[in-house]
Structure 1
């Protein structure tokens, strides 16, 4: 993707304007829309030169029902989706599909029948034909479905199990193809680390994550590489399921911004879990910034009236202390906001920067458009659109936060958090039109 024309001077100008209120925020957003190139446009044009032979893709899912992640991602690979306001049809053929669960509302058999997709029962059957690997890429979409929850309130999704089965096939035939893993790599940080190591050992591309880093931002801000962040926060509010489900999205929102700081990602020193009054007390003690929290909340159109402490009955927070001294925090404030928003403090800059990471509502859930766009680019090139180490780090932070909550330890420091990498120059978030205007 082309990098937006976003100078440091203009970035800092937007930073100063960010706190001036909703009217100024609208002006900033409109100026950005007018002056920045729409990110995917050049790549859409480049697609015209793609070879006529479509990518052959295998989909391995937990469940294929209305609004499941597999429904949204595989559905877009088959049906196409809007990009820059126009229909984009992927040069992809989903050839085989496996669903781990088949509930009463299962749409998998009908979908496969209607679109000429073979519905399989094993991973080997899904990837091989006549004993040969005849797919160009694999999407592993293990999200949603009926799975047990452990004592740390982590859903035991079998992502690692299915990844191992995929790798077993790769080893058997002596060849591998790119693999995309939806959301975090695993609820267990050791499994996540093993997945990354295995991909490097066998030399196949591995990309993972959710829509948050690449969805639309309001206003459209992308901190330049080398930004001197001292602190960042993400706020959201969801109570659908265990906290792990949406805290992963919050950590991705936080990480895709703070990883652009000077020196790149240096890894994490410790992770802290807080809930109830302990969240407010930590703010009063200066462990996180009230100013940044307020700035992030006010980017949300759902921002509730009334005092925060009066509205929010049971706040939850994950605090992240990075090795280089940068601080991060993610807050679940169910009664105060529903969107995801980020605010960050830059050294020697008076006012913070902030943005809402916009997620268009279901049933269309258009935030899967940018994610699927990047999956396409990845499957064709074999090169991850952003480092898998980001997802490994957010998966690891989340695992230790869940452990801290369950074990009543509050703060955990562990060498497994020392994951270092460099952010790509362009974060690849979508700009421009959201709806299909063609």
Structure 2
């Protein structure tokens, strides 16, 4: 894969685009249309990568950063329509802060016949241990733990959970049917919900057993600790958040953000017929060797070479919509029904995460 052109929306202090253009011999153009046409009269690239993060952009009343991914995407679509040819598009992170815009992006791909790949690197990074849930197996309960403080970070944890639970029964032939309701709570309500059985302490224990980075005493002097039994979890995590998902098929899952207690992203589930839960960690290699990003680039290259996205953009679409609805739930202080998230898709049969 070779970069042949670039459009840069903002150039903050320390921007490296001009240096990289000189080093690798590509042009920077003043508009997206010119970048896609490489300064000519027709589409002249084989694929598009939209990286809409960082920079100074406004936030809305839900505290979502209004990154112009939709606007960038639509400018690409305008070129495709005008020039009579389309190419694959990769969109980094969630599609848009608004479900309606995200849905339009996916519909554009279907309408013009080009593949879209989007989302987080968590679903494609290594897993410790190397766990993939059987396709079509019933899941009794699932819980994801992670850290986050904004819609951009929370998205990673949500998509990681979705890439696991989308494989539940019925699997092939009975695709994901979408989400019927969500609720987001925070603070002491989270602990009370656990005590009342709304989320499983057993699954939380299984998920935390895979964490390499418990904070508190472990970080201070290397001591092992039982975060739950010792009460340290509540002490360390001053403002937990619980994201409750009710799926259209009746299945329910929970995501807990435990800032201050851990740094890892871990998942646990109890499969029907099993006595013990399964669990794993989405492994993020330490900085500066963020090779989990290379796992995602590998999937981008696969799409560019084959013309087929390795997993459907509808996964990103449903998670984009969930995230927006969760933030609306928190603002309203109540559970919200989400009929607009009746998004159906077939998860890939083959595992897509890194294994070597």
TM-score by length of 2: 0.92
Alignment of 1:20-419 (within 5 A): 92-129=1-38, 130-238=40-148, 242-263=149-170, 264-304=175-215, 305=225, 306-307=230-231, 308-408=233-333, 410-419=334-343
Query: Quick one: distance in 2 between partners of 1:157 and 1:137?
Result: 21
Does the CA-based 8 Å contact 1:386-1:424 persist in structure 2?
Answer: yes
Q: Secondary structure at the match of 1:94?
A: coil
Shift of 1:201: 0.7
Shift of 1:357: 0.3
Does the CA-based 8 Å contact 1:256-1:427 persist in structure 2?
Answer: no
Give 2:221's aligned residue: none
Shift of 1:229: 0.8
Q: Deviation string for 1:275-327 (max 9, x for gaps)?
A: 00111111122221111112111210112444222221110121101111211
More deviation, 297-306/153-162: 297-306
Does the CA-based 8 Å contact 1:151-1:406 persist in structure 2?
Answer: no
- Which consecutive unaligned segments of at least 5 residues does structure 1 have? 1-91, 433-438
Q: Deviation string for 1:187-234 (max 9, x for gaps)?
A: 111111110111111111111111000000000011121121122111
Measured on the aligned residues, the alpha-carbon RMSD in Å equals: 1.2
Does the CA-based 8 Å contact 1:247-1:330 persist in structure 2?
Answer: no
Shift of 1:338: 0.5
Does the CA-based 8 Å contact 1:386-1:427 persist in structure 2?
Answer: no
Does the CA-based 8 Å contact 1:230-1:325 persist in structure 2?
Answer: no
Q: Secondary structure at the match of 1:372?
A: helix
Does the CA-based 8 Å contact 1:229-1:347 persist in structure 2?
Answer: yes
- Which consecutive unaligned segments of at least 5 residues does structure 2 have? 216-224
Q: Structure 1 residues 146, 362: closer, same or farther in 2, change over 3 A?
A: farther
Shift of 1:266: 2.1
Query: Quick one: distance in 2 between partners of 1:171 and 1:105?
Result: 36
Query: Quick one: distance in 2 between partners of 1:276 and 1:425?
Result: 38
Q: Deviation string for 1:138-190 (max 9, x for gaps)?
A: 01111122211211011110000101111111111111111111110001111
Query: Quick one: distance in 1 between partners of 2:335 and 2:65?
Result: 22
Give 2:218's aligned residue: none
Shift of 1:405: 1.5
Q: Secondary structure at the match of 2:3?
A: strand
Runs of 4+ aligned residues of structure 1 deviating over 6 Å after TM superposition are: none
